Amino acid sequence: MKNKCLTAFAFFVLIGTIANSAEAQLIAPFDYTLTGAEITDLNFDFKDFEVILDVEVTDSPATLKVSFDREFFDSQINGEDDDFIIIADGDLVRYTELENNSKSRTIEFHLMSGTDQVEIFGTHLKGITSESHQIKSEEPTIIILDQTDKVNELLAENKQLQKENKLLTEDNEELDSRIFELENLVSALEKHISNLNALVLEQVKVIYQWVFPI
């Protein structure tokens, strides 16, 4: 009976250990094996084509073995494999490439105690490549103008401007003439009003003398 209890206890301890290990294993879009540490968070930077791992090292040196599907993450230049760049808290990390085939690449590296973040840089991340971000420069289009046509165009514009200037001058002269006529009319009206005022004044004097004879 005692042996059966010990066996049952060991079984439940084993199940609990497996369950805890499964919970600690972060789900990632790539296969990895990590000893002496755990990945606490995972992010992607599509601008710099990097996989960012937040880690907690519990046993130094920790070892991380990761296998990237080429369609998901890779590092290539002109169709040829290039080195990944791995940075741990600002320090360059050396790695070993364990496997390389047409579908995936597997690398392994070590992490020291106190490491908080690991950045793995490549050139291809989830279908986006560094080449697709390059801006294609366009050659400037040089337009050569026929100088004769340009001169003729300028002469035609100058002739049109002279014609318009002549019309404006004539309009100004006509306007000046009308202003002069208007000034003469105003002067004549003022003179006529002055004469009317004098006539009215004489009539008022006559009426006053008739009403109040001396």
CB atoms within 10 A of CB 75: 20
CB-CB contact of 37 with 109 (8 Å): no
Write down the pLDDT at residue 134.
47
Written as one string, the DSSP assignment of 90-150 is TEE--EEEEEE-SSEEEEEEEE-TT--EEEEE-SEETTEESGGGSPPPPPPPP-PPPHHHH
Each residue's pLDDT tens digit in the chain (214 positions)? 444 443 444 444 444 444 444 345 678 899 999 999 999 999 999 999 999 999 999 999 999 999 999 999 999 999 899 999 999 999 999 999 999 999 999 999 999 999 999 999 999 998 787 655 443 444 444 444 456 766 777 778 878 888 888 888 888 888 888 888 888 888 888 888 888 888 888 888 888 778 777 6
pLDDT reported for residue 132:
52
Q: Which residues pair with 68 in a beta bridge?
A: 105
Q: Enter the tokens of residue 212.
A: 């109040």
Q: Residue 11 phi/psi, 5° resolution?
A: -65, -45
pLDDT at 22: 39
**Which one, of 109, 117, 112, 108, lies nearest residue 89 by Cα?**
117
- Asked whether 44 and 80 are in contact (CB, 8 A), the reply is no
Element spanning 30, H or E: none
pLDDT of residue 209: 77
Confidence at residue 143, expressed as pLDDT on a 0 to 100 scale: 45
Counting Cβ atoms within 10 Å, is residue 76 exposed (0-12), middle (13-18) or buried (19+)? middle
